[in-house]
Amino acid sequence: SSSVRMGVIRLQNLSRILCFSSHIILILLQQTTAARELKFVVALFRHGDRTPIVNFPTDLHKESEWPQGFGQLTKTGMQQLFELGQYTRKRYSSFLNITYNRQEFYIQSTDYDRTIMSAQSYLSGLFPPTSSQIWNPELLWQPIPVHIFQKTTEQRLNFPLPNCPRFDELQHETQTSKEFQNRIQPYMDFLQTMAVNTGLELNHLKILDNFQLWNTYDTLHCEEIHNYTLPVWATEDVINKMKKLAELSLFSLFGVYKTEEKSRLQGGVLVNIILNSIKQAVNSSKPRKMEVYSAHDTTVGALQIALNIFNGKLPPYAACQFFELYQESNGQVSSYLCKKEQYSIEMHYRNDTSKDPYLLTLPGCTSSCPLEKFAELVSPVITENWSKECGKKDKMKDIFIGLNVAVGLLSIFNLVLLYLLYHYGHCWRRNNYQNI
């Protein structure tokens, strides 16, 4: 019948439409995959294995027992960063030039021996000289500049950033906050025992932001790694509890209480620097492909807490946070069907050499986050006037105020002096006239 024929025709047409639609979608997906291109990378890593920073009163070992003393990179640390450099070379083999090119690559470090040496070790693995760059056939190494952030003038990687009165207030508030006390109270008996064992004062151990307990754990951790004799009380259970408290120290330093405000004064500063570098890579014709920062566990922690991607664990030696900027399909993916962002950011965290880096997701976005959306989501932790929000006084303003006050007082003094001269001068002349 005619109705049956019409039904068959409709089914055939529907089948053709579905087939055509599927074909179009497949083409679009293939175009998207093929056209996605890595454009820029930012990497921030913690230095490699080092000697302890300090010892504690009852420590069995002195600084003189450590090669090069406290706070120095070890041979293990050099190897860790060399391996990270090799991993970076492998990860970006089709992106980075095989030979070092100063216009494409830039690395900066804090002004500490261990971070500078970590950067140098990293570069040895990332850019071994090849062909024309080999200057000594017996040494497959080439000097590459590591730019240094000066401690006295540049603070963008030394966290917590100093000279911020408001942050100091927040730290004091944190120690007495309900959020912090709920976390620290279960450890009070343990802290009392630790005060006896370490020779440190209990009141100092309870204030986690002064680093005393964290440093003590760190010292024991270093000694354990390098097979130094530990105190008899430093059992596995004790060290695990100290590690938990060290993790709480890091988290409470930049989070736990009023995290967003803390981040504006701390990790958000670095978020802004990285975001600006990414935006420049989008808008600039310069050939730079990668920027790298050699820093500390507090640097990694401050950054991740500001981005709300912190896993609650201390960043291990050579932990590396990657930010990758992708250009998505040149912005030409079916604009009449759907709107797709032209650029996106992916974050990968490498804290375990036995596993691939973890793909992290910024809360409120997808793992491959459109650049505009990323910038919008991180805007609450970015400040336009750090000094003002820190409550720092403007020294020049104070000088001008002081000068104005001084000028005002001098003017008043001059007026008083003129009045006295006029008054007593007039009286003196009148008396002289009377004597005549």
59 is a catalytic site residue = no
The answer, yes or no, to whether residue 244 has pLDDT greater than 80, is yes
C-alpha Rg value of the chain to the nearest Å = 31
Distance, in Å, from the CA atom of 312 to the CA atom of 293, rounded to the nearest integer, reads 22
Domain hosting 413: range is: 396-423
CA distance 186 to 164: 31
Q: Which residues pair with 321 in a beta bridge?
A: 44, 349
Segment 147-162 mean pLDDT: 83
CB 42 within 8 A of CB 56: no
Could you tell me the two tokens for 211? Answer: 């680093």
Asked if 313 and 347 sit in the same domain, the reply is: yes
Do 82 and 209 belong to one domain? yes
CATH at 91:
3.40.50.1240
Give the least confident one: 14-23, 323-332, 405-414. 14-23
Global pTM reads: 0.81
Q: Does residue 432 belong to any structural domain of this protein? A: no
Q: Beta strand 147-149 with 290-295: parallel, antiparallel or unpaired?
A: unpaired
Three-state DSSP at 344 gives strand
pLDDT surpasses 90 at 147: yes
d(CA 393, CA 387): 8
Catalytic residue, from 59, 218, 297, 348: name it.
297
Nearest to 76 by CA among 50, 42, 57: 50
133 and 181, same domain (yes or no): yes
Name the helix (H) or strand (E) containing 149: strand 147-149
Cα separation of the two ends of the chain: 148
Are the CB atoms for 349 and 319 separated by under 8 Å?
yes
pLDDT-derived band at 426 (thresholds 50, 70, 90) equals: low
Percent residues over pLDDT 70 in the chain:
80
Q: Is residue 21 part of a domain?
A: no
Closest Cα partner for 38 from 284, 375, 278, 360? 278
Q: Tell me what the mean pLDDT of segment 120-132 comes to.
A: 94
d(Cα 30, Cα 181) in Å, to the nearest integer? 54
Classify 123 as helix, strand or coil: helix
Which range, 13-22, 147-156, 285-294, has the best average confidence (pLDDT)? 285-294
b/e sequence 201-234, b meaning 16+ C-beta within 10 Å: eeeebbbbbebbbbbbbbbbbbbeebebeeeeeb
CA distances from 340 to 32, 152, 319, 335 (A): 10, 45, 33, 7
Q: Which residues of 79-93 are buried (b: 16+ CB within 10 A; e: fewer)?
A: ebbbbbbebbeebbe
Q: Do both 325 and 415 map to the same domain?
A: no
Summarised one tens digit per residue, pLDDT across range 362-394 is: 999 999 999 999 999 999 999 999 999 999 765
Instruction: Pick the catalytic residue from 47, 209, 218, 296.
Output: 47
354 and 269, same domain (yes or no):
yes
Overall number of domains in the chain: 2
- For residue 299, tell me if it sits in a domain: yes
Same domain, 282 and 334: yes
Helix orientation angle between 236-254 and 297-306, rounded to the nearest 10 degrees: 50
Active site annotation includes 111: no
User: Which tokens sit at 329?
Assistant: 């399909």
Which pLDDT value is given to residue 405? Answer: 46
Indicate whether 266 and 129 sit together in one domain. Answer: yes
Sign of CA dihedral 178, 180, 186, 189: negative
Statement to judge: residues 247 and 225 lie in one domain? yes
Q: Are 116 and 64 found together in one domain?
A: yes
Same domain for 411 and 272, yes or no, is no
